[in-house]
Structure 1
Amino acid sequence: MNGVLLTSIFVTAIDEVTVAHLGTSEGRILQVVLQRSSSYTITLANFSLGERLPVLREVSRLGDSLLFVTGNKVSQVSIKGPGCRHFLTCFRCLRVERFMQCGWCGNSCTRREECDASWNQESCSPVLTDFHPRNATLHGNTRVTLCGMSFQSRPRFPAIIDSPVTSGTHRVTVGWRNCTVLPEESLDKWPNPVPHWKEFVDVLVCGLEPKGEQEVLVPTNVVLTITEEIRNPPFYINGSSSCLGFVFVVPTVTSIHPPYGPQAGGTKVSIQGENLLAGSSRKVLINSLACPLIR
């Protein structure tokens, strides 16, 4: 809240949570959770009272509402906050304090009475937004990195010995092939430290099985399926998400230049062909000897 001038404060206990409603010099109300020890402030809501005038110091409570004054205007605000629609993702929606009565309704965060479809406070589905690389060879151990949201209910992958990510909870398929989830490599891909506002940077790494039937040069789906244990508080991840566009290819060498070199080595060899950059890693062998790649 750097650069924000506070002009009023009203603190109250709601259920087991201490909540402060902070008025600002620009006519806004910040609803925040107060904690004894924390490196950041949990802001539940930040909304305008309609006028860019300072919120006066005097605040009154009327039942389940708070009365704020800006200029000659009195605004009545629910003590539970202005609503839930400003929480744009299921992950953010279900992590808010329960007194706000927010739940996920289709593709938006609402209160139960505002939802005409299925409404829940228990689970979110994963959202797969992208993956890399876009292709791989039929044979090999290509590492596929998945990006998206709500890959797990905890803020980040914890220590591997306590990791909730296992073959039983997280499953990835690429076309007809399984892709084994790698928790340690997934952890290495995360920003460190993970920002508290993280909800758009979930990363998961898996290793493609090198064997199995698969069509070549046909775009196929990458599918992430997550089934967390229901007891994970305050909610759990359950469901599937997919992205189309992964292609299996066959690398083909069409020419090598020069076609010879001294036994002592040191010759730079240029290899041309098709699909030579497929997958996540490459290795060149000449007569079973490694030929380091020059980038």
Structure 2
Amino acid sequence: MPRLIATLDERTRLPAPRAIVELLKPITWFPPMWAFGCGVAASPQPTEGRWPTIIAGLILAGPLVCATSQAVNDWFDRGVDAINEPDRPIPSGRIPGAWGLYIASAWTALSLLVAAMLGVWVFAAAAIGLALAWAYSAPPLRLKRNGWWGNAACGLCYEGLAWITGGAVMAGGVLPDWRSLTLAGLYSFGAHGIMTLNDFKSIEGDRQMGLGSLPVRLGVNNAARVACIVMALPQIAVAGLLLVWGRPVHAGLIVLALAAQAMMMSRFLKAPREKATWYSGAGIPLYVLGMLVSALAVHSILLETS
């Protein structure tokens, strides 16, 4: 009977608000919100009179869609987290019973509701992002079992779709200019490498649970090289495009940021497992600053041609 009573208590106990906030991981909201802002910055439309819509879009990108992805991932990763990070809300019991799944489902519905109020293309981007978030973590697809597919899904959600959403909000709910879409695609590709950096901290749990992250599949050193190459290539492409589009100053800034990253990458490659978190904090900010630089370049181009 004691086991039955404990089970019933866990099913009826409500999670504390602090545990819910921790489950939704506000610190992870920055990348998609930044990408959304880059989509806004790339648009030629003025921001005057659009701030309520822009703020709604920022909330959609971060506290809603991204937070949903975090809740979904933590629910379906509760076994892995029990090994890697047992203090997280679900494995620690601070989010009891199936509340992790309930929260993920409720946040999905709320995200779709807000997206529907912001236009057809915003709704479409949000729906795709949410579908990928569930596909990344949930069976039967569980894309994270393959580091190539899983990281691609994350990169698209965190960077590309958020950028497109920002541009669509500014364009009145329609797709933004093709140059903005091109940048969104390139930076999504590079985000695959950023996602690989996150996998270095959970190698043991991933290996035990059969998750084929790139550090598990390729080995630590090879995965680190792949991450660096994948992050560098789109930035080289962006710099080249900005030159072709007549923005040499912006292209030069991208090259300078990449050169600084290259010096940090050389240090990271000497001890990938130990330096992955360090590089995430030191090198990735230069990557995302380049996103804004390129967005402002497109903004100036579109103003000239409009």
Bigger relative CO (Cα 8 Å, ≥ 6 apart): 2
Fold in common (TM above 0.5): no
Give me the TM-score of the superposition, normalised by structure 2. Answer: 0.24
Rg larger for: 1
Give me the TM-score of the superposition, normalised by structure 1. Answer: 0.25
- Structure with higher strand content: 1
